[in-house]
Amino acid sequence: MASEREVSRGAPRGALRSGTWKWACLATWAVILALVAFELWPRFRGAWGKTPWGSQHPWRGDTEAFLSSALEVASKDLMHPAPRLKLDPRRMDRPRTLLWLRDRLGGGLETRNSWPNAILARAIAECGATADATLGNYWDQVVGPDGSLLEPPVLLSHCMLGMPLLDCYQQTSQARFRTAAEHLLKWLMKSHVRSATGTLPYRPEEPGVLLVDTLGMVCPFLARAGREFDMPEATRLARQQLLEFLDRGMDERSGLPFHAYQVDSPSGNAAPFGLAGWGRGAGWLALGLAETLHWLPATEPDRPRLEEALRRLAATLRGCQRADGLWGWAVNIPGAQPDTSATGMIAWALRIGMEHRVLDDGFQETREKAIAGILRCSKESGEVGQSMADVAGIGQYPWLFAHTTWTQGFAILAVGGGSGSAGDR
């Protein structure tokens, strides 16, 4: 049996050990609770409807001042795609903590030829200056002096870069931009997977699934590049992509597009699925129609049908616009969170449609209300917020709203004047 002296000597050590474990456990629980709060805070904030974006700066309709500030933000987003403190909501379906650590260790958000970067490049080229140093530096990282693509395309969405490439060629006459756009066109026409009907699926691993996103991402480029490079089959593919979606991917009751449809469904008929009325989906369709129509020949036999489709869609969306000028992330669901990304896309499509006389000037009021809504969701720095995060998949719509790179570009293009790539047809 231990002596009384040994017990007394060991007691402080035991107490010390016990106290250390207690504090270690408390510290561990504190870290766990902090991580849980970090993960869940955006969801609670979205559920309460208390975002930090509403009425951040009284722009009072001063679009010139807004554009100047917004273009500075776009330049920073384009050259520094990795976030500083906040995470890009595109990836919020994954643990924020791990993503934060990854970003701090140098992981980037986007490849240089990603579609959000294409939107930013186009916004800067159209509403800023093509000779802007930021844009020049960006192109040097994407296009070689001989027009080679430094990051070859592997996804359909990479081809959205084709429009700003042609814009810059039109404005600077630098042959490398035209050559790079031709490389994208050839890859899209000859190497990308096709569906059973010959259209372009969004994901190569799902050739039977056609997403509404493809309409705005590649149809305008196909129509324009088909003329630029004397490739009528590209123009035909743009027309086919749009017409097939109008036939198979629309909700007849609401007049709004589904997220996608399946060409090779077991029943033998195209089966639409996903939400009918997803805000960005309506924006992709509106942009696809408005811009493609600009580049289609006036003698195109299907042109009247596409024009009527744009008019019907614009009228439907006008009826869904919120009192604050924004559209919800689901345009046909009352009370849906407002989404500046959908609003920017739709307002931009309305601008294009009116500029080229497909839509009447009555839609100008709708566009102006949308712009006012975007300005109310913008900080004094020009950073646009209240954008719905990227979707994880069809039917998987996030409840996260913040600043996103693509919305910054869409907002600039919606607000900015001029026709940009929409030159003489």
The neighbour count for residue 293, using CB atoms within 10 Å, is 23
Distance, CA of 372 to CA of 279 (rounded, Å): 18
Chain position carrying tokens 């309460």:
48
pLDDT value of position 87: 40
Query: What are the pLDDT digits (tens) for 83-121?
Result: 433 444 444 445 555 554 544 444 445 678 899 999 999
Fold assignment, 51-415: Glycosyltransferase (1.50.10)
The DSSP annotation for 66-84 comes to: HHHHHHHHHHHHHH--S-S
Whether residue 266 is predicted with pLDDT greater than 60 in this model: the reply is: no
Distance, CA of 151 to CA of 144 (rounded, Å): 10
Rounded alpha-carbon distances, angstroms, from residue 411 to 1, 37, 224, 340: 81, 31, 23, 8
Whether residue 226 is predicted with pLDDT greater than 90 in this model: the reply is: yes
pLDDT value of position 256: 98
Mean pLDDT of the chain: 84
pLDDT value of position 48: 40
Query: What are the pLDDT digits (tens) for 268-314?
Result: 566 788 999 999 999 999 999 999 999 999 999 999 999 999 999 99
Whether residue 50 is predicted with pLDDT greater than 50 in this model: the reply is: no
pTM for this prediction:
0.82
Coil/strand/helix, residue 15: helix
Query: What are the pLDDT digits (tens) for 64-83?
Result: 889 999 999 999 998 775 44
AA letter at 393? G
